[in-house]
Amino acid sequence: MKQFRKPHLAVLVAAAMALAGCADDGKDGAPGEPGTPGEPGPGTPPPTVEMTEMTNVKVLNFAVEEGQVVYEIEVTDQDGTLVVGLDAVEGKFASWTERGYVLSRSGEGTLGGYGNLSTEGAVLEMGEPGQYTFTLPMANVTPGEEGLLWLRVGASDGPIMRSKPMVVNKPENTHSSTTAACNACHVDYATSSLKHPSYSAIDMEGEGDLVGGCLICHNSVSRADENGGYATNTLSKIAHVNHPENGFERDFSVLNCATCHETTPINTSIAGPGCVDCHNPGAAVGPISPNADPNFDIRAIHGQKIALAEIDTLRTTHKTTLSAPYWDAAVAWEGGGTGAICTDLKLFKVEGETETQLDIGALYADHTLVYASAYIHAYDSETDSLIGRPSPFNAQQYVARDDGTRAICYPSLAAADGSYGTQYSVANLVASSRLTFAQTGWVDDDGKDGVSFTNYSDVVSTDYFDGVAAPSFTKESGFERRLAVTNDSCVSCHNSETNYHKNGGYQNGGVDCLACHNNGQNRASKFSGPGFGPMVHSMHWGEGNTKLSEDGTPNSASKLNAENCVTCHADGIDLYAIPNRYMLSRAYNEGGDSKVMSSPVTANCYACHTSDSAMNHMTQNGGEINVVADPMWFTTPTAESCATCHAEGKSFGIEKFHVFER
């Protein structure tokens, strides 16, 4: 929310008066000098209002005194006009103690305080128009006491609407979690459907302070403790315990502390705030043991338990390369026959500028590696899309080369579904590989341990499908794939670096997933959604979300605001950039014919918007779900016209209904 400062206010007031045609002729000048055009004459009061659509607060001064807190504030409406007649204001103060922030409700040992105009002794006085002094009694505060000071004015039922809560003062270095870290997932808590979003606070500069706004009630100490705080759940318990226990997100680890803590936590005592949540659940919160050593990072200790340092070392000191598909006439097959289409997978150890090739076969034999294989895909160069996998499943042979290269070879290329064989004769080819290091204690849902590397080869054209005995392969381009998410969008939530399945990871915006979840693979994906985009949308917020939970209820990903698309799409969405080609959509046809296709924008939207009215709207504008598939579906234009109205900037642009800005 923008907080108007006096220079801005003066401009707004002058502009409003001029537009209304009632601007004053200006002040009288000194004798013999002209007046100042546009400025009110002597004694002319500034314009004021008694009702607001939005209320803004500027804190002019504040003081923590003996038994009371005093706020001096200026209140304006949405246009910067001064507000008179304010009759609702509330304040809170959480004391900073050896146990962290504490705002007690009542009882012996009470700390901090809170109240409003109904509090005995509370006084609200207006001096100059729009400027108020609010004196709030707090029996237990002392002069100059450090703590978290909070303010809100107005009422939810008007006429002066309730302002956003404001963190007026917060001592430095009192917490190491950040609002930005929270917003990586929540984006804008104030617009969510979670608990009391209206308490999302701003700071004195008008910037969001979600952490400060939560801490004022969800203190460092539970209300259940002796001399405890305001709420039963502390903010650290919400983060450390409630997130994981509620199934916050698949492959989220609370031990990856850096997800929320940009700097090392200030407390190092396992009995103190934060640590006690996990190390002694239910115990009373003890004093903080300050981290006095700037080189001691408690986050690293937790990271060791999920081998974060080892994972990072593996990723930064190794790389893989993958050759384009080629013909090897010397490969012999059990049962007879020679000749194969192969791709070469190489693994390198990287030390500075030096790259040393490693022996994949030897590393696989001693279980350093648990997976090293590749697929060959059909590729449409016009749309930069994977359109199927002609390499037969489990038909590969591994050929060890003398330099440690593993060649992954297939005896033939055939359609996964025989009725679609013609698509491959006009397509190019590209290979994808995955290589996985064993990693103790790091397990995916297939029971494998590992740190995975995915690679895509260059794109080649071939005359293989013409039945040539020794086909040729000609490089056409490097591998390209349109990706509408940012490289770190997945790992913002999936922070454990765990493989999802089949040794696939979350790095680089889910590029690992594309080898199996692409427009032409036609997987069921738990019947959630076809391809990559529709599957991700559905798995998080749509039909697939309910099927992730054994009890049939949605997992907590659905608690994230589905409209907050910026969590993944940080650079927005360009509907015109989506290729106007169909995608195979067996996943939307549970129990039915697998030879169906859907138009792409409709397939993505339908992943969340599954009502009959939504589907009718899409079909009336050319969208299609599960129509009989054309064998050349990936070259067939659709009739959907979604971008005409819903592209960004249009009358009903997607950004008007979804959030694409933080």
Q: At which of 449, 480, 515 does a domain end?
A: 515
| Least confident span in 216-220, 235-239, 309-313, 350-354 | 309-313
Residue 520 lies in a domain: no
* Longest CA–CA separation in the chain, Å: 113
Residue 446 in this model has a pLDDT that exceeds 80: no
Residue 19 lies in a domain: yes
Residue 122 to residue 69: CA distance in whole angstroms: 10
Residue 488 to residue 493: CA distance in whole angstroms: 9
Average pLDDT over residues 120-140: 97
Average pLDDT over residues 329-346: 95
Residue 205 in this model has a pLDDT that exceeds 90: yes
Residue 544 to residue 237: CA distance in whole angstroms: 29
Partnered with residue 376 across adjacent β-strands are 431
Partnered with residue 628 across adjacent β-strands are 596
Same domain assignment for residues 386 and 427 = yes
Same domain assignment for residues 550 and 632 = yes
Q: What is the pLDDT of residues 233-254, one digit of tens each?
A: 999 999 999 877 666 667 788 8
Q: What per-residue string of b and e applies to 461-482 under the rule 16 or more CB within 10 Å gives b?
A: bbebbeeeeebebeebeebeee
Same domain assignment for residues 31 and 73 = no
Q: At which of 480, 515, 550 does a domain end?
A: 515
Cβ distance 588 to 597 under 8 Å? no
Cβ distance 137 to 121 under 8 Å? yes
Q: Exposed, middle or buried: residue 617 (CB in 10 Å: 0-12, 13-18, 19+)?
A: middle
Cβ distance 407 to 441 under 8 Å? no
Residue 149 to residue 165: CA distance in whole angstroms: 11
Residue 569 to residue 80: CA distance in whole angstroms: 34
Residue 359 lies in a domain: yes
Same domain assignment for residues 159 and 244 = yes
Q: Is 536 helix (H, G, I), strand (E, B) or coil?
A: helix
Residue 2 in this model has a pLDDT that exceeds 90: no
The pLDDT value recorded for residue 447 is 62
Q: Is 291 helix (H, G, I), strand (E, B) or coil?
A: coil
| Least confident span in 72-81, 207-216, 516-525, 612-621 | 516-525
| Least confident span in 5-9, 115-119, 298-302, 349-353 | 5-9
| Least confident span in 101-110, 123-132, 231-240 | 101-110
Average pLDDT over residues 144-156: 96
Q: How many domains does the chain have?
A: 4
**Count of other CB atoms within 10 angstroms of residue 566:** 21
Average pLDDT over residues 645-649: 94
- Separation of first and last alpha carbons in the chain: 12
Q: Is 370 helix (H, G, I), strand (E, B) or coil?
A: strand
Q: Phi and psi for 407 in degrees, rounded to 5?
A: -90, 130
Share of the chain above pLDDT 90, in %: 61
Residue 434 to residue 406: CA distance in whole angstroms: 12
Same domain assignment for residues 319 and 403 = yes
What pTM did the predictor assign?
Answer: 0.81
Residue 498 lies in a domain: no
Instruction: Give the DSSP letter string of 603-623.
Output: HHHHTT--SHHHHHHHHHTT-
Same domain assignment for residues 253 and 138 = yes
Number of H helices, E strands in the chain: 16, 26
Residue 345 lies in a domain: yes
| Least confident span in 169-173, 318-322, 558-562, 586-590 | 558-562
Share of the chain above pLDDT 70, in %: 87
The pLDDT value recorded for residue 1 is 32
Q: Exposed, middle or buried: residue 271 (CB in 10 Å: 0-12, 13-18, 19+)?
A: middle
**Count of other CB atoms within 10 angstroms of residue 253:** 20
The pLDDT value recorded for residue 440 is 67
Same domain assignment for residues 396 and 509 = yes
Q: Is 240 helix (H, G, I), strand (E, B) or coil?
A: helix
Cβ distance 241 to 281 under 8 Å? yes
Average pLDDT score over the chain: 87
Residue 281 carries which side chain, given as an amino acid letter? P
Q: Domain range spanning residue 610?
A: 525-656
Cβ distance 243 to 254 under 8 Å? yes
Same domain assignment for residues 385 and 266 = no
Average pLDDT over residues 362-388: 93
The pLDDT value recorded for residue 18 is 32
Residue 299 to residue 262: CA distance in whole angstroms: 10
Residue 349 to residue 368: CA distance in whole angstroms: 13
Residue 497 lies in a domain: no
Same domain assignment for residues 111 and 27 = no
The pLDDT value recorded for residue 439 is 77
Same domain assignment for residues 466 and 543 = no
Q: What is the pLDDT of residues 28-73, one digit of tens each?
A: 445 555 555 555 566 678 999 999 999 999 999 999 999 999 999 9
**In this structure, what token pair is assigned to residue 95?**
């004391």
Q: At which of 303, 326, 349 does a domain end?
A: 303
Same domain assignment for residues 291 and 332 = no
Residue 412 to residue 25: CA distance in whole angstroms: 89
**In this structure, what token pair is assigned to residue 288?**
């903080």
The pLDDT value recorded for residue 421 is 56
Residue 661 lies in a domain: no
| Least confident span in 403-407, 423-427, 626-630 | 423-427
Residue 264 lies in a domain: yes
The pLDDT value recorded for residue 23 is 37
The pLDDT value recorded for residue 34 is 54
Distances (CA, A) of 73 to 92, 168, 204, 567, 616: 15, 11, 11, 35, 53
Q: Is the peptide bond before 159 cis (omega within 30 degrees of 0)?
A: yes
| Least confident span in 203-207, 251-255, 606-610 | 251-255
The pLDDT value recorded for residue 508 is 85
Same domain assignment for residues 317 and 463 = yes
